[in-house]
C-alpha cells in the first residue's frame, strides 16, 4: 500500500485526501539522520524542503518561520533533539541533550508545544540510557507516538468545533490555526455541512493569505482573503457568523495569547454579538495564571517595514513588532479542547476533565 493511501485517524480520513498542511508526511520528517522540513515561507506557490543536519539548523528553521504550529513545531523540535545524540547509549550525551533542548525551547518563548515535546523526549532518552538502549531511537519513537496522539486530539477538537458551528456559517479566521482548524473543515466537508471561509491575511508573514487559504481551498470550501483591518467592518455588516482561531497559549483564567491581530478581531466579534471560538487542543497552561504571566515576544521591527525584500517605509523609519497579543477571557465564547468545549472562565477545569487520550506522551 502506498503511504499516501493509508488510512489515518482510526479510519476516518485517507492521508492523500487531507490538505497538504495537515498530512503526517511532508511537514517535518526524519530521513536517515536528517530532519527534512517543509518551508512554509514558499507556500502557496512552491513546495520546497530544507534539510537540517544539526540542532542549530532546526532551531534556525523554527526561528525563521520556516515551520509553524504546535504539531509541526513539536515534531520538528523532537526530531531536532534526536540530532543531538547518536544511536548509542553514551552516558555523556545527557549534557548534549540538555543544551539542545534548551536551544530548541528558546526558539519560541511564547508557546508551549516545543517544551512539552522536550520534556517527553528527555524522559524517554533518560529511560533508554538507564536501560542501556539508544536514546536517539527512544526520542524518535516518542515523536512518532506524540504525532499520532496530537493528530487524534486535533481531529477531536475539529469535530467538536464543527458540531458547534451553525450550518452555512461564514467563519473568519486569523493566522493559520493549524490542525484543529483544518480538521474542522475536513469534518464539515465529510458530514456535508456547508461553510464559507474568510481569512485575514495576517501581516507581516501572511500566514492567513498563504497557508489558511490554501488549507481551506484544499478542503473545497469557498474562501476569500481580507486584510487584517477588514474583519470588524464585515462583522458589522452581518457578513460573518463566527470568529475562530488557534491559541499559542491559554491561561488558567481563560486569557488567550495568539498571533498579533487576534485581539482586535475578538473585540469586534464581541461588540457585534458574534461568538469567538478558540481551538486549543491541549488546554490551558497550568503555569500561566493570567495575562501577567505571559511574556509577549517582540520580533525585529525590520520584519514589518520590509515586504518581500522591498522596503515599504522611508529608510529612517523603524517598525515595531509585537508577535502576539492578549485577548481577555470576556471576549472568548468557548475554548474548544480535546476534552470538550469550555466557557473561557471555566477552562481551568480542563485539568481535571477526563483525558481524550489516556496514554498521550505530549
Q: Of the two residues 133 and 306, which places its CB atom closer to a second copy in the complex? A: 306
| Rounded Cα–Cα distance for residues 281 and 142 (Å) | 19
Q: Of the two residues 147 and 214, which places its CB atom closer to a second copy in the complex? A: 214
Pairing of strands 7-8, 13-14: antiparallel
Q: Of the two residues 173 and 200, which places its CB atom closer to a second copy in the complex? A: 200
Cell of 43: 507556500
Q: Of the two residues 150 and 206, which places its CB atom closer to a second copy in the complex? A: 206
Residues 279-338 that bind a second copy (CB under 8 A): 296, 301, 304-305, 307-308, 310-314, 316-322, 325-326
Residues 121-180 that bind a second copy (CB under 8 A): 174
Please state, as a whole number, how many other Cβ atoms lie within 10 Å of the Cβ of residue 130. Answer: 10
Please state, as a whole number, how many other Cβ atoms lie within 10 Å of the Cβ of residue 193. Answer: 17
Q: Does 238 bind a second copy (CB under 8 A)?
A: no
Q: Does 267 bind a second copy (CB under 8 A)?
A: yes
| Rounded Cα–Cα distance for residues 78 and 150 (Å) | 13
Q: Which stretch binds a second copy (CB under 8 A): 65-73, 92-100, 154-162, 207-215?
A: 207-215
Q: Does 206 bind a second copy (CB under 8 A)?
A: yes
Q: Of the two residues 52 and 225, which places its CB atom closer to a second copy in the complex? A: 225
Cell of 317: 523609519
Q: Does 249 bind a second copy (CB under 8 A)?
A: no
Report whether 283 contacts 337 (CB < 8 A).
yes
| Rounded Cα–Cα distance for residues 124 and 238 (Å) | 51
| Rounded Cα–Cα distance for residues 101 and 283 (Å) | 23
Q: Is 5 a catalytic residue?
A: no
Q: Does 202 bind a second copy (CB under 8 A)?
A: yes
- 3-state SS, residue 136: helix
User: Min. distance of Cβ 309 from a second copy in angstroms?
Assistant: 9
Q: Of the two residues 301 and 340, which places its CB atom closer to a second copy in the complex? A: 301
Please report how many Cα atoms fall inside a 13 Å half-sphere around the Cα of residue 8, on the Cβ side.
24
Name 14's bridge partners.
7
Q: Which stretch binds a second copy (CB under 8 A): 99-107, 141-149, 218-226, 339-347?
A: 218-226
User: Min. distance of Cβ 198 from a second copy in angstroms?
Assistant: 7
| Rounded Cα–Cα distance for residues 111 and 104 (Å) | 12
Q: Does 268 bind a second copy (CB under 8 A)?
A: yes
Q: Which stretch binds a second copy (CB under 8 A): 48-56, 154-162, 256-264, 332-340?
A: 256-264
Q: Which of 248, 285, 325, 338 is catalytic?
A: 248
Of positions 71, 263, 276, 342, contacts a second copy by CB under 8 A = 263
Please state, as a whole number, how many other Cβ atoms lie within 10 Å of the Cβ of residue 227. Answer: 12
Non-local CB neighbours of 100 within 8 Å, separated by 6+ positions: 55, 80, 81, 83, 84
| Rounded Cα–Cα distance for residues 254 and 252 (Å) | 6
Q: Catalog residues that contact a second copy under the rule CB under 8 A.
A: 44-45, 174, 198, 200-204, 206, 209-210, 213-214, 217, 223-234, 236, 260-265, 267-268, 271, 296, 301, 304-305, 307-308, 310-314, 316-322, 325-326
Give the residue numbers annotated as catalytic, written as ranges: 248
Amino acid at each position: 500500500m502506498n503511504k499516501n493511501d493509508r488510512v489515518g485517524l482510526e479510519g476516518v480520513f485517507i492521508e492523500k485526501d487531507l490538505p497538504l498542511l495537515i498530512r503526517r508526511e511532508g511537514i517535518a520528517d526524519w530521513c536517515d539522520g536528517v530532519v527534512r522540513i517543509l518551508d512554509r515561507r514558499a507556500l502557496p506557490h512552491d513546495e520546497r524542503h530544507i534539510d537540517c543536519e544539526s540542532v542549530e539548523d532546526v532551531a534556525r528553521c523554527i526561528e525563521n518561520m520556516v515551520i509553524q504550529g504546535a504539531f509541526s513545531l513539536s515534531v520538528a523540535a523532537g526530531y531536532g533533539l534526536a540530532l543531538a545524540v547518536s544511536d548509542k547509549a553514551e552516558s555523556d550525551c545527557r549534557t548534549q541533550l540538555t543544551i539542545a533542548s534548551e536551544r530548541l525551547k528558546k526558539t519560541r518563548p511564547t508557546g508551549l508545544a516545543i517544551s512539552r515535546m522536550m520534556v517527553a523526549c528527555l524522559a524517554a532518552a533518560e529511560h533508554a540510557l538507564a536501560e542501556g538502549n539508544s536514546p536517539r531511537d527512544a526520542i524518535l519513537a516518542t515523536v512518532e507516538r506524540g504525532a499520532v496522539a496530537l493528530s487524534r486530539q486535533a481531529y477531536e477538537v475539529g469535530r467538536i468545533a464543527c458540531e458547534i458551528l451553525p450550518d452555512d456559517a461564514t467563519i473568519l479566521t486569523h493566522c493559520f490555526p493549524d490542525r484543529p482548524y483544518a480538521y474542522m473543515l475536513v469534518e464539515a466537508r465529510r458530514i456535508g455541512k456547508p461553510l464559507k471561509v474568510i481569512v485575514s491575511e495576517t501581516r507581516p508573514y501572511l500566514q492567513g493569505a498563504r497557508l489558511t487559504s490554501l488549507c481551506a481551498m484544499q478542503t473545497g470550501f469557498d474562501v476569500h482573503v481580507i486584510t487584517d483591518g477588514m474583519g470588524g467592518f464585515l462583522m458589522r455588516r452581518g457578513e460573518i457568523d463566527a470568529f475562530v482561531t488557534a491559541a499559542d497559549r491559554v491561561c488558567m483564567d481563560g486569557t488567550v495569547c495568539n498571533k498579533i491581530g487576534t485581539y482586535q478581531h475578538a473585540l469586534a466579534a464581541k461588540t457585534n454579538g458574534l461568538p469567538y471560538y478558540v481551538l486549543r487542543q491541549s488546554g490551558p497552561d497550568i503555569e500561566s495564571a493570567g495575562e501577567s504571566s505571559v511574556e509577549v515576544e517582540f520580533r525585529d521591527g525590520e520584519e514589518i517595514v520590509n515586504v518581500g525584500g522591498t522596503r515599504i517605509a522611508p529608510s529612517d523609519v523603524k517598525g515595531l513588532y509585537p508577535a502576539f497579543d492578549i485577548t481577555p477571557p470576556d471576549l472568548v465564547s468557548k475554548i474548544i479542547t480535546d476534552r470538550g468545549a469550555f466557557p473561557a472562565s471555566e477552562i481551568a477545569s480542563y485539568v481535571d476533565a477526563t483525558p481524550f487520550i489516556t496514554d498521550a506522551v505530549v
